[in-house]
């Protein structure tokens, strides 16, 4: 009996998908629930598992083709799957290992003694040379090494670049996700009247709190107490005070939300994803930390679901993890505001008339000036700052 494999029903916000990679070819055996193909959408990569055990007899779309919901993309002939290697495979592997060990124990002939491992290591590019070569796309096999034993050094790679080394160009088609990111970012700039206001925050109180209670918090909740949960909690309290920052525009109407679904920007190899924490206003610090960690892991593993990326009333992005001192984050439409966190720097500040060194961070709030006035944006950011500089306000609801 032949079984058709169809593209799963895609959400309304996703029009189509692209065949990213086939994991089986015609004639290959496949087990039920084994991944047959990866489908790339505007937001995530979907795995399509085999519905039955059997053999792949036809692929009806090639890698790179665009497909829609319910399109038939493959045909499987249902049936028993033959065992791949048989029961003798472990014994054969053990026998090979024993033979290899016996060969290793034989004394090597003096006339064919191999080079020492040290000499081999010397001939390899140094770690810094490999890093520069990877960044500049230089093939180190063509670079003359001046280091010990002919090893290619960082200086050798830089010299090759200055002397007209590799000038190779490579054209790579943009992924569906990167294309969608480009479209949404340009849409945000073309549609919204984006303005950014800045504030700085002294994080000494938060960092002291984390230092005092980190061990007990980790033992009790099974996760470390980070900074992001404090920022999300502070944003939720500020959004409650200034609901227009949590609103969005639909046509000629302003939509106010009585809930706070907070998007957390996560950087992955494929691009930026913004999973959404639903009803973040009802979650404690431990629950927020767990949700953030779970989404970050899923995003980087490529296992995040489409529904995890949909919706959201406000977003938080942390460029500080990459060393950003200050930036103007772009909106995540249809949201009307986004908070940008940045790197923490020890800076001299005046506290009670005294110059002291404190861990300072610049905050940036980008907002849609069509519905959010400057007064609301500034007061919102001040409320976030006040909550972070005095974390007790988060517990007391002040």
> How confident is the model over 249-261, as pLDDT tens digits?
998 999 999 999 9
368 neighbors 249 (Cβ within 8 angstroms): yes
Instruction: Kindly list the distances between the CA atom of residue 287 and the CA atoms of 267, 292, 310, 372, in Å, as whole numbers in the listed order.
Output: 21, 9, 20, 30
End-to-end CA distance of the chain: 67
Each residue of 354-374: b (16+ CB within 10 Å) or e?
Answer: eeeebbbbbbbbbbbeebbee
Query: Which residue range is the domain that position 65 belongs to?
Result: 2-78
Catalytic residue among 369, 376, 386, 390: 369
Q: Judge whether 36 lies within some domain.
A: yes
- Whether 94 is covered by a domain: the verdict is no
Contacts of 74 (CB under 8 A, 6+ apart): 4, 5, 36, 37, 56, 58, 59, 60, 61
Whether 85 maps to a domain, the answer reads no
- Using a pLDDT cut of 70, give the percent of the chain over it: 86
Q: Which of 52, 78, 104 is the last residue of a domain?
A: 78
Q: What pLDDT band is residue 239 in, cutting at 50, 70 and 90?
A: very high
How deeply is 325 buried, as exposed, middle or buried, from its count of CB atoms within 10 A (0-12, 13-18, 19+)? Answer: exposed
Residue 86 within any structural domain of the chain: no
pLDDT of residue 333: 87
The residue among 43, 62, 78 that closes a domain is: 78
Confidence (pTM) = 0.63
Q: Are residues 244 and 385 in the same domain?
A: yes
**Domain end call among 45, 62, 78:** 78
Whether 242 is in a domain gets the answer yes
Residue 165 C-beta-side C-alpha neighbours within 13 Å: 19
| Count of positions (residues) in the chain | 398
SS percent in the chain: helix, strand, coil, step 5: 40, 25, 35
The predicted pLDDT at position 12 comes to 63
State the residue for tokens 């976030």: 384
Do residues 74 and 198 share a domain? no
Give the active site residue among 28, 121, 139, 373: 373
pLDDT per residue as tens digits for the range 349-360: 999 999 999 999
Mean pLDDT on 67-91:
72
Residue pLDDT, tens place only, 315-324: 999 998 888 9
pLDDT greater at residue 107 or residue 214: 214
State the pLDDT confidence band at 168, using cuts at 50, 70 and 90: low
Q: Is residue 279 part of a domain?
A: yes
Active site residue 156: no
Q: Is the pLDDT of residue 56 over 80?
A: yes
In a domain, 166, yes or no: no
Looking at the fold, whether 340 and 212 belong to one and the same domain comes out as yes
pLDDT at residue 371, as a whole number: 95
Question: What CATH number is given to the structural domain containing 292?
Answer: 3.30.559.10
Quick check: 102 pLDDT over 50? no
Cβ–Cβ under 8 Å, residues 180 and 43: yes
154 lies in some domain? no
Tell me the pLDDT tens digit for each residue of 131-142: 778 777 778 887
Q: What's the CATH number where 19 sits?
A: 2.40.50.100
Compute how many other C-beta atoms are within 10 angstroms of the C-beta atom of residue 200. Answer: 16
70 is annotated as an active-site residue:
no
Q: Are residues 374 and 249 in the same domain?
A: yes
* pLDDT score at 397: 66
Residue 328 CA to residue 325 CA, distance in Å, equals: 11
Count of domains in the chain? 2
pLDDT > 90 in the chain, percent: 42
């Amino acid at each position: 009996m032949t079984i058709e494999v169809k593209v799963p029903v895609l959400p309304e916000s996703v029009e189509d998908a692209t065949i990213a990679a086939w994991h089986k070819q015609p004639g290959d055996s496949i087990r039920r629930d084994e991944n047959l193909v990866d489908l790339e959408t505007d937001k995530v990569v979907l795995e399509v598992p085999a519905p039955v055990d059997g053999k792949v007899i036809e692929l009806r779309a090639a890698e790179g083709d665009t497909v829609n919901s319910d399109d038939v993309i493959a045909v499987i002939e249902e049936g028993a799957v033959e065992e791949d290697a048989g029961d003798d495979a472990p014994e054969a592997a053990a026998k090979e290992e024993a033979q290899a060990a016996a060969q290793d124990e034989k004394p090597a002939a003096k006339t064919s003694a191999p080079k020492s491992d040290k000499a081999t290591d010397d001939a390899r590019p140094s770690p810094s040379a490999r890093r520069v070569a990877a960044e500049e796309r230089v093939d180190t096999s063509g670079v003359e090494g001046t280091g010990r034993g002919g090893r290619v050094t960082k200086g050798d790679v830089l010299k090759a670049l200055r002397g007209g080394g590799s000038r190779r160009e490579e054209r790579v088609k943009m992924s569906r996700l990167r294309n969608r990111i480009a479209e949404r970012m340009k849409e945000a700039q073309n549609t919204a009247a984006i303005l950014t206001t800045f504030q700085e925050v002294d994080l000494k109180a938060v960092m002291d709190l984390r230092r005092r209670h980190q061990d007990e918090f980790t033992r009790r909740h099974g996760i470390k107490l980070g900074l992001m949960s404090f920022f999300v909690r502070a944003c939720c309290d500020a959004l409650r005070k200034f609901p227009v920052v949590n609103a969005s525009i639909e046509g000629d109407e302003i939509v106010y939300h009585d809930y706070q679904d907070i998007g957390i920007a996560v950087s992955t190899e494929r691009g930026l994803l913004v999973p959404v924490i639903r009803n973040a206003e009802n979650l404690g610090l431990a629950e927020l930390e767990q949700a953030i960690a779970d989404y970050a892991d899923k995003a980087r593993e490529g296992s995040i679901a489409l529904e995890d990326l949909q919706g959201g009333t406000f977003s938080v992005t942390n460029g500080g993890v990459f060393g950003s001192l200050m930036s103007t984050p772009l909106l995540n439409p249809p949201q009307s505001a986004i908070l940008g966190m940045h790197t923490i720097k020890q800076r001299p500040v005046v506290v009670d008339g005294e110059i002291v060194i404190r861990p300072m961070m610049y905050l940036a709030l980008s907002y849609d000036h069509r519905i959010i006035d400057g007064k609301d944006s500034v007061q919102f950011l001040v409320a976030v700052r006040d909550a972070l500089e005095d974390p007790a306000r988060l517990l007391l609801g002040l």
